[in-house]
Chain A
Amino acid sequence: MIKFRKNILEFANPNNFLSIANKIIPFFLILTIIILSLGLVWGLFFTPEDYRQGSSVKIIFIHVPTAFLAINIYFMMLLASIIWLIRRHHVSLIAAKSAALIGLIMTLSAILTGAIWGKPIWGTYWAWDPRLTSFAILLMFYLGYLSIWQTMKFSDKIGDLSSWLCIVGSIFALLSRYAVFFWDQGLHQGPSLSLDKEENIDNVFYFPLIICIIGFVLLFLTLLLIRIKTEIQKRKINILLNARDG
């Protein structure tokens, strides 16, 4: 446990982070390309049509991973923001900032693919269903969080402000995640992946879906590592410029 804590703290040092990131980014990149291609090709070309949804079931191979990431990236940002507020580790703040754009794109994609799937299956692109509504609000929080960083210069105060916004928005991330469990009035069905074998989707869809989720998570981690690395280097440039110009 002490060793694990020491390793995590080493990651919080920007220089250590850069040296570790430089080593693992190429490995993550190759793994992402292989696993994502495998999952998407399997899901798109080698799965049968569903007896009720027809071929529209193939949309789940991108809708479920993007929705999964939309919520979990926000939780990751929440964790990083809390670490920033308590321990003042700049790498955690940079990690939250770097993840936000990826989270926004995943949320947009989940809403878009959900709407396209919803029209033929539910008969409508959009409904003010608890899960869909909480997703729309989550999208607003992502936009708000990114707007703070786009309009103001990097500083500890802005870091605090964005972290508090992230904490408030986490309520909607929680709602997006659990709305289907405790709100039984929406159009959205239960989770596609469940620990209960009876409720789970058929294995013919389950395995490619799991591979797609792993592929999208790897894509997120690869992009996140590159974005954090770039952000640390930007800070370095600012420090060097300030030192040079006095």
Chain B
Amino acid sequence: MLDFGKYTFEVLISYAGTFSLVSIVIVSTYLDAKKVKRDLKNLNTDNLNDK
């Protein structure tokens, strides 16, 4: 399906490699943001309960 002539393998492996590397940053950024958001929410709830 994806045929780029003589260098199809090189082209596909370059794109796949870059997407995999960029995905690492995207996923780690997303998970980190999600965790911090949850921690902040829990902390605010705890503070309200303490009062």
Q: Which residues of A contact B (CB under 8 A)?
A: 40, 44, 49, 54-56, 58-59, 62-63, 66, 101-102, 105, 108-109, 112-113, 116-117, 119-120, 219, 223, 226-227, 229-230, 233-234, 236-237, 240-241, 244
Determine whether the beta carbon of A237 is less than 8 Å from that of B28. Answer: no
Determine whether the beta carbon of A55 is less than 8 Å from that of B18. Answer: no
Contacts of A49 in B (CB 8 A): 5
Q: Which of A109, A117, A119, A229 contacts B18 (CB 8 A)?
A: A109
- Given the interface contacts A101-B28, A234-B36, A237-B36, does A219 sit within 8 Å of B22 by beta carbon? yes
Q: Which residue of A lies closest to B6 (CB)?
A: A54
Determine whether the beta carbon of B40 is less than 8 Å from that of A233. Answer: yes
- Given the interface contacts A226-B29, A229-B33, A230-B36, does A55 sit within 8 Å of B8 by beta carbon? yes
The count of residues in chain B whose C-beta lies closer than 8 Å to any C-beta of chain A is 30
Question: Can you show 15 pairs from A to B with CB atoms below 8 A apart?
Answer: A55-B5, A55-B8, A56-B6, A58-B7, A101-B25, A112-B14, A116-B17, A117-B10, A226-B33, A227-B32, A229-B33, A244-B43, A244-B46, A244-B47, A244-B50
Report the separation of the CA atoms of residues A244 and B8 in the bound assembly, to the nearest whole angstrom.
59
* Binary contact readout B24-49 vs A (1 if CB under 8 angstroms, 0 otherwise): 11101110110011011001001100
Determine whether the beta carbon of A59 is less than 8 Å from that of B25. Answer: no
* Residue among B4, B10, B29, B33 with most chain A CB within 10 A: B10
Q: Which residue of A lies closest to B9 (CB)?
A: A116
Interface of B is mostly: helix
A240: min CB distance to chain B, Å:
5
Report the separation of the CA atoms of residues A244 and B46 in the bound assembly, to the nearest whole angstrom.
10
Contacts of A240 in B (CB 8 A): 43, 47
A-B complex: 4 closest residue pairs judged by Cβ atoms = A56-B7, A55-B4, A55-B5, A113-B14
Determine whether the beta carbon of A223 is less than 8 Å from that of B10. Answer: no
A230: min CB distance to chain B, Å:
5
Q: Which residues of B contact A (CB under 8 A)?
A: 4-8, 10-11, 13-15, 17-18, 21-22, 24-26, 28-30, 32-33, 36-37, 39-40, 43, 46-47, 50
Report the separation of the CA atoms of residues A109 and B17 in the bound assembly, to the nearest whole angstrom.
7
Determine whether the beta carbon of B7 is less than 8 Å from that of A44. Answer: no
Contacts of B40 in A (CB 8 A): 233, 236-237
Contacts of B18 in A (CB 8 A): 62, 66, 109, 112-113
Report the separation of the CA atoms of residues A233 and B28 in the bound assembly, to the nearest whole angstrom.
16
Determine whether the beta carbon of B32 is less than 8 Å from that of A58. Answer: no
Contacts of B33 in A (CB 8 A): 226-227, 229-230
Report the separation of the CA atoms of residues A113 and B22 in the bound assembly, to the nearest whole angstrom.
13
